[in-house]
C-alpha cells in the first residue's frame, strides 16, 4: 500500500491537472456509480488525507483510496494509457487533461458536508494542515501495551505511515517493532522523525531514508531480509506482522515479493533487540 507521501504527490498531480476547470467527461466504471455523470462540474481541488484522496467538485466529493494496487495517471488527450483500459475505474477529463484511476481500492461519491464519514476516523495527517504531534502522541499512548509497529500503522493514531516507514523509523531509533508503546521513551522524537521523512520525500518518486538515492542504497531495512545491516552487518530479519516465526525471504513457501513486503516487518536483530517478554 502506498505511503502517505506517495498519496500526497498523487493529490498534487490531480490538483494541477483538474482544479479550476470544468469536466468535459466523467466515466465511473464501478457498478454503484456507473450512471453518475459529473460533466460540466467545476473541480475545486484534490487533497490527500493520510492515504485517502478527496477530489472536491461543486456539489460532491470523490473519495478514492489506492489500497495495494491502485494508481492515478494524468494524460494528455492524445497520449496512450500506460495501463490496460479494463483496469480503469474512474476517468475524469477536461479540455486539457484526462485523469484515470486504475485498480482503485475504493471509489465513492459523498456530499461535500459528509467527508467526515469517510476520513473523520483518521488521526492527525503527517503531511496535512491538521498535524498535531500532541494529538498523535496521545492517540499512540492510549493503548500502552500495543506493539509500536502496529500502533504506527493504525491510521486512527496518525495518518500517513505505511509498512516501509514503520520499519525504517523503528530502525533509526534502535527499537524493535514489537516493543510496547509504553516502553518507547523516544516516542516524541520518533514521531517527529517519521514526519520529517515523509516531508523530505513527498516531492520525489525515489523515497530514501538513508540519505542515498541510489538504487538499492536508499533504505535501511525494508524489503532487505537476509541482507547485511548497513550499520552492523547482521542479517536483516523479517516476520509477518501477526508474529508468525521469522522466515528467510528465499525459503520455499514464502509469499510473493509484493505480498511479503506488504505484510512483513523488517528489523536488524543486533541494532533492534527484541523486547523481553
| Same domain, yes or no: 74 and 152 | no
CATH number where 151 lies: 1.10.8.50
| Same domain, yes or no: 158 and 44 | no
At 241 the pLDDT is 56
Neighbouring C-alpha atoms within 13 Å toward the C-beta of 216: 2
**What mean pLDDT, rounded, does the chain reach?**
92
| Same domain, yes or no: 88 and 139 | no
Give residue-wise pLDDT tens across range 168-195. Answer: 999 999 999 999 999 999 999 999 999 9
Count the neighbouring beta carbons within 10 Å of the beta carbon of residue 85.
Answer: 10
| Count of domains for the chain | 2
At 121 the pLDDT is 96
Average pLDDT over residues 220-244: 88
Which among 184, 179, 121, 192 has a CA at the least distance from the CA of 146?
Answer: 179
| Same domain, yes or no: 145 and 243 | yes
Residue 174 lies in a domain: yes
- List the beta bridge partners of residue 43: 57
| Same domain, yes or no: 201 and 87 | no
pTM tops 0.95: no
Give residue-wise pLDDT tens across range 17-53. Answer: 999 999 999 999 999 999 999 999 999 999 999 999 9
Residue 127 lies in a domain: no
Question: With contact defined as beta carbons under 8 Å apart, do 88 and 102 qualify?
Answer: yes
Positions marked active-site: 2-3, 51, 263
- Residue 131: pLDDT band by 50, 70, 90 thresholds? very high
Residue ranges with strand state E in 66-190: 71-76, 88-93, 97-102, 106-111
CATH number where 13 lies: 3.20.190.10
| Same domain, yes or no: 263 and 137 | yes
Residue 277 lies in a domain: no
Here the cell at position 216 is 538499492
- Residue 256: pLDDT band by 50, 70, 90 thresholds? very low
* pLDDT tops 90 at residue 100: yes
Give me the domain span that covers residue 231. Answer: 133-267
Amino acid at each position: 500500500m502506498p505511503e502517505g507521501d506517495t498519496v500526497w504527490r498523487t493529490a498534487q498531480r490531480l490538483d494541477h491537472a483538474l482544479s479550476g476547470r470544468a469536466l468535459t467527461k466523467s466515466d465511473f466504471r464501478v457498478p454503484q456509480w456507473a450512471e453518475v455523470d459529473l460533466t460540466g462540474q467545476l473541480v475545486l481541488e484534490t487533497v490527500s488525507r493520510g492515504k485517502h484522496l478527496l477530489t472536491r467538485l461543486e456539489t460532491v466529493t470523490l473519495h478514492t483510496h489506492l489500497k495495494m494496487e491502485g494508481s492515478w495517471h494524468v494524460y494528455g488527450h492524445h497520449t496512450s494509457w500506460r495501463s490496460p483500459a479494463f483496469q480503469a475505474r474512474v476517468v475524469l477529463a477536461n479540455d486539457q487533461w484526462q485523469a484515470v484511476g486504475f485498480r482503485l481500492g475504493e471509489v465513492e461519491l459523498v456530499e461535500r458536508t459528509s467527508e467526515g464519514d469517510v476520513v473523520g476516523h483518521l488521526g492527525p495527517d503527517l503531511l496535512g494542515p491538521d498535524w498535531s504531534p500532541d494529538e498523535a502522541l496521545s492517540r499512540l499512548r492510549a493503548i500502552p501495551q500495543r506493539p509500536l509497529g502496529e500502533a504506527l500503522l493504525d491510521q486512527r493514531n496518525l495518518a500517513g505511515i505505511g509498512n516501509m516507514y514503520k520499519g525504517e523509523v523503528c530502525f533509526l531509533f534502535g527499537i524493535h517493532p514489537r516493543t510496547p508503546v509504553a516502553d518507547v521513551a523516544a516516542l516524541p522524537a520518533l514521531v517527529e522523525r517519521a514526519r520529517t521523512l515523509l516531508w523530505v520525500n513527498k516531492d520525489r518518486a525515489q523515497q530514501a531514508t538513508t540519505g542515498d538515492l541510489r538504487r538499492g542504497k536508499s533504505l535501511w531495512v525494508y524489503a532487505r531480509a537476509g541482507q547485511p545491516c548497513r550499520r552492523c552487518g547482521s542479517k536483516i530479519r523479517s516476520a509477518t506482522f501477526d508474529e508468525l516465526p521469522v522466515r528467510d525471504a528465499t525459503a520455499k513457501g514464502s509469499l510473493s515479493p509484493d505480498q511479503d513486503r506488504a505484510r512483513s516487518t523488517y528489523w536488524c536483530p543486533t541494532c533492534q533487540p527484541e523486547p523481553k517478554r
